[in-house]
Structure 1
Amino acid sequence: MAFVVLAVGAAGYLYLQHLNDNIDALPDDGASTGGFQKDQAINILLIGTDKRTGSGNDGYGDKGSAGHADTTLLLHVSKDRSNATALSIPRDLIVDVPDCPTTQEDGSTKVIPGSTGVRFNTSLGQSGRTPSCTMRTVTELTGVTPDNFMVADFNAVKTLSSAVGGVEVCLAKDIDDPDSHLNLPAGKHTVEGEEALAFVRTRHSVGFGGDLSRIELQQQFLSSLMRKLKSNDTLTSPTKMVKLAEAGTDALTVDAKLKSIGKLKDLGLELGKLDTKNLTFATVPVKDNPAEKTPVTVVLKDGPAQQVFDMVKNDVSFTEVKKQEKEKKDKEEAAVAARLEGKKSEPSEVRVRVLNGGASSGSAGRELTYLQNEAGVTKSENAGNAPADIAKTTLEYAPDQADQARALAEILGLTGAAMKPGESVTNSQGLPAMTLTLGKDFKGAGVKLDATSAKAPEDLQKSTADKVECAK
Structure 2
Amino acid sequence: MDAQGRERTENVDPADQWVLNPDTGEYELRLPPSAPRPAVPGPRRPAPRDTADGGTGRRAAAPAREVPPQRRRRGTAPEEPAPGRRGRRPAKKAKKSRGKRILMWTGGTMAFTVLATGVGGYLYLEHLNDNIQSLPDDGAGTGGFQKDKAINILLIGTDKRTGAGNEGYGDKGSEGHADTTILLHVSKDRSNATALSIPRDLIVDIPDCPTTQEDGTEKVIPGSTGARFNTSLGQDGRTPSCTMRTVTELTGVTPDNFMVADFNAVKTLTTAVDGVEVCLAKDIDDPDSHLKLSAGKHTIEGEQALAFVRTRHSVGFGGDLSRIEIQQQFLSSLMRKLKSNDTLTSPSKMLKLAEAGTEALTVDSQLDSIGKLKDLGLELGKLNTKNLTFTTVPVDDNPAEKVKATVVLREAPARQVFDMIRNDVSFTEVKKKEKKEAAAVAARLKGTKSDPG
Tell me if both proteins adopt one fold, taking TM over 0.5 as the criterion: yes
How far is the alpha carbon of 1:54 from its aligned partner? 1.1
Residues in 2 aligned to 1:321 and 1:156: alpha-carbon distance in whole angstroms: 33
User: Does the CA contact (< 8 Å) of 1:171 and 1:187 recur in 2?
Assistant: yes
What residue number does 1:87 align with? 196
Give the Cα–Cα distance (whole angstroms) in 2 for the partners of residues 61 and 240 of structure 1: 29
Query: Which of the numbers 302, 311, 318 marks the counterpart of 2:411?
Result: 302
Instruction: Tell me the equivalent position of 1:149.
Output: 258
- The yes-or-no answer on 1:184 pairing with 2:285 is no
* Partner SS for 2:167: helix
- What residue is the counterpart of 1:370 in the other structure? none
Please name the residue that 2:386 is paired with.
Answer: 277
Deviation at 1:320, TM superposition (A): 2.1
Task: State the aligned residue count.
Answer: 327
Q: Does 1:128 align with 2:234?
A: no
Q: Tell me how far 1:61 sits from its aligned partner.
A: 5.7
State the distance in 1 between where 2:323 and 2:248 align: 24
Give the one of 66, 78, 82 matched to 2:175. 66
Tell me how far apart the structure 1 counterparts of residues 200 and 149 of structure 2 sit (CA, whole Å): 29
Larger strand fraction of residues: 1
Query: 1:196 corresponds to which residue?
Result: 305
Give the match's secondary structure for 1:239. helix
3-state DSSP of counterpart to 2:375: helix
Match of residue 55 from structure 1? 164
Q: Which consecutive unaligned segments of at least 5 residues does structure 1 have? A: 324-452, 459-472
Kept after mapping to 1: 8 A contact 2:197/2:393: yes
CA distance in 2, matches of 1:167, 1:120: 29
Counterparts of residues 80-119 of structure 1 (less than 5 Å): 80-119=189-228
The question of 1:2 aligning with 2:111 is answered no
Measured in 2, the distance between the counterparts of 1:28 and 1:192 equals: 32
After superposing on structure 2, the runs of 4+ consecutive aligned residues of structure 1 that deviate more than 6 Å are none
Q: Could you tell me which residue of structure 2 aligns to residue 395 of structure 1?
A: none
CA-based RMSD of the aligned residues comes to 1.9
Other-structure match for 1:239: 348
User: SS of the residue aligned with 1:2?
Assistant: coil
CA contact (8 A) 1:82 1:321 kept: no
Name which one, 1 or 2, has greater alpha-carbon Rg. 2
Measure the CA separation in 2 of the matches of 1:204 and 1:4.
39
1:262 maps to 2:368: no
Which region of structure 1 is more displaced relative to structure 2, 63-72 or 145-154? 63-72
8 Å CA contact 1:7, 1:238 repeated in 2: no
Kindly state the Cα deviation for residue 321 of structure 1 after the two structures are TM-superposed.
8.5
Q: Cα distance 1:61–1:283, how it changes in 2: closer, same or farther (>3 A)?
A: closer
Cα distance in structure 1, aligned partners of 2:163 and 2:366? 25
Q: Give the whole-Å Cα distance in 1 for the aligned partners of 2:431 and 2:297.
A: 32
Deviation at residue 8 of structure 1 after TM alignment: 4.2
Distance in 2, Cα, partners of 1:25 & 1:116: 29
2: CA distance, partners of 1:101 / 1:60:
30
Answering whether residue 333 of structure 2 is matched by residue 224 of structure 1, we say: yes
Structure 1 residue 295: Cα displacement:
1.3
Give the alignment partner of residue 276 of structure 2, picking from 159, 167, 181.
167
Residue number among 380, 396, 409 corresponding to 1:287 in the alignment: 396
* Residue type of the alignment partner of 1:143: G
Q: Distance in 2 between matches of 1:4 and 1:129?
A: 34
- SS of 1:277's equivalent? helix
Distance in 2 of aligned mates of 1:322 and 1:177: 34
Share of identical aligned residues, percent? 84
Shift of 1:56: 1.5
Is the alpha carbon distance of 1:75 and 1:120 closer, same or farther for their aligned partners in structure 2, counting shifts above 3 Å? same
SS of 2:428's partner is: coil
Report the TM-score when normalising by structure 2: 0.70
Q: Deviations over 1:42-99 (max 9, x none)?
A: 0000000000111111233633320210000000000111110000000000000000
Residues in 2 aligned to 1:64 and 1:293: alpha-carbon distance in whole angstroms:
28
In 2: Cα distance, 1:186 partner to 1:46 partner: 29
The answer (yes or no) to whether the contact 1:16–1:261 under 8 Å persists in 2 is yes
Which residue of structure 2 lines up, in the alignment, with residue 368 of structure 1?
none
Distance in 1, Cα, partners of 2:318 & 2:140: 34
Partner of 1:12: 121
Shift of the 265–322 alpha-carbon distance from structure 1 to 2, 3 Å rule, reads farther
TM-score (norm. length: structure 1) = 0.67
Q: CA deviation at 1:4?
A: 3.1
Q: Given residue 274 of structure 1, which amino acid in structure 2 is its aligned partner? A: L
- Encode CA deviations 1:86-126: one digit per residue, 9 max, x unaligned: 00000000000000010001111010000100110000001
CA contact (8 A) 2:111 2:124 kept: no
